Structure 1
Amino acid sequence: MMAAPLSIDEQVAAMKATWPQFAARRIDRRAQSARWIGSVRPQYSSYSLEIRYEVGEFPEVRVLTPELIRLPGNSEGQLPHVYPPAEDPTLCLFDPREREWISAMTIASTTVPWALDWLACYELWLMTGRWTGGGRHAGQDLGEARETTR
């Protein structure tokens, strides 16, 4: 039996309790959606993140600042493990095919820690050119997997 999705109020409360630096900028209770903005520092740099979520969908995480650096010609892609469009990528934080995230989970205990991990891997990738975060690479049906599990 599948657990019931958490309401947007439950998600907002969990984020406020766990990540107080993330402010809920827009909460639409009728649409069961919210948008948070906050800063994190996984290792070397600080990042401003935006998290958008609507109950029943996947959370979307964007890096607002600083702009993510691309490495043209990198064997793993100029910016690996993101969803298009290239000018406004969202971070690929989990494998939808494996049901690693469901709406009964809190964004606070999954999405934010996963974003921190992604950013740590990104910083290492910038230094070494190798993605150490695992997951399927571009060309391995990432977008298709995301779309078919919504």
Structure 2
Amino acid sequence: MANSHFREQPISLAEQIVVMKRYFPKFIVHWRRNIVCWIGEIQPGAISQRYRIKIVHQLHKVPQIFVLKPQLVATRDERVPHTYPGNRLCLYHPKKREWDQQMHIATTIVPWTSLWLTYYEFWQATGEWLGGGEHPELSRSSKKTMQIVASLR
């Protein structure tokens, strides 16, 4: 029986890097101290455009995902749905623990990003977001992490 006072150890950054390389060998990796950053291209579907994405991950923090190119564009008077400030993608609700540090980013975050981009393209065409979900507020610690990420650019 597991002791509830001890949290499981997160997957190491080294293991995350190895698994990402296996699934997405063309992604470029930058690793500095306890922060790893991947930049690569994905294409959600056969008729979709290619997107250059950036994933930043720090141990004990949630991954942060950005679309670098093409720039995400809002329609009408709306901002792009399910994004945080700085066009950081909102792929899941952090408090619902849909992603945790025992999951590989390559097999969760990257496919979820591809799905998000599919919903984004449909939203661009129709004005309707079919991705569902709810958008949580940004915490103070997330704002501080955003400042650290901005320094990596």
TM-score by length of 1: 0.83
In structure 2, how many angstroms separate the alpha carbons of the residues matched to 1:128 and 1:61? Answer: 24
After TM superposition, give the deviation of residue 53 of structure 1 in Å: 0.6
Q: Secondary structure at the match of 1:143?
A: coil
Larger RCO of the pair (alpha carbons < 8 Å, separation 6+): 1
* Equivalent residue pairs, number: 136
Q: Secondary structure at the match of 2:105?
A: coil
In structure 1, how many angstroms separate the alpha carbons of the residues matched to 2:42 and 2:68? Answer: 11
CA-based RMSD: 1.9
Question: How does 1:10-89 map onto structure 2 within 5 Å?
Answer: 10-24=15-29, 26-28=30-32, 31-43=33-45, 44-73=48-77, 77-84=78-85, 88-89=86-87
- Paired residue type of 1:41: Q
Comparing 116-125 with 14-23, greater Cα deviation is found at: 14-23
Report the equivalent of 1:96.
Answer: 94
After TM superposition, give the deviation of residue 23 of structure 1 in Å: 1.4
Name whichever structure is richer in helix by fraction: 2
- Paired residue type of 2:137: L
Report the equivalent of 2:9.
Answer: 4
Residues 78 and 72 of structure 1: CA distance in aligned 2, closer, same or farther (over 3 Å): farther
Q: Any conservation in 1 of the 2:72–2:87 contact (CA below 8 Å)? A: no
In structure 2, how many angstroms separate the alpha carbons of the residues matched to 1:7 and 1:114? Answer: 21
Q: Any conservation in 2 of the 1:136–1:142 contact (CA below 8 Å)? A: no
In structure 1, how many angstroms separate the alpha carbons of the residues matched to 2:8 and 2:126? Answer: 41
Query: Identity of aligned pairs, percent?
Result: 36
After TM superposition, give the deviation of residue 72 of structure 1 in Å: 2.6
In structure 2, how many angstroms separate the alpha carbons of the residues matched to 1:142 and 1:128? Answer: 26
Report the equivalent of 2:150.
Answer: none
Report the equivalent of 2:106.
Answer: 108
Q: Which runs of 5+ in 2 are unaligned?
A: 146-153
Q: Any conservation in 2 of the 1:48–1:66 contact (CA below 8 Å)? A: yes
Cα displacement string for residues 54-87 of structure 1 (whole angstroms, at most 9, x for unaligned residues): 01111011000001111133xxx32100001xxx
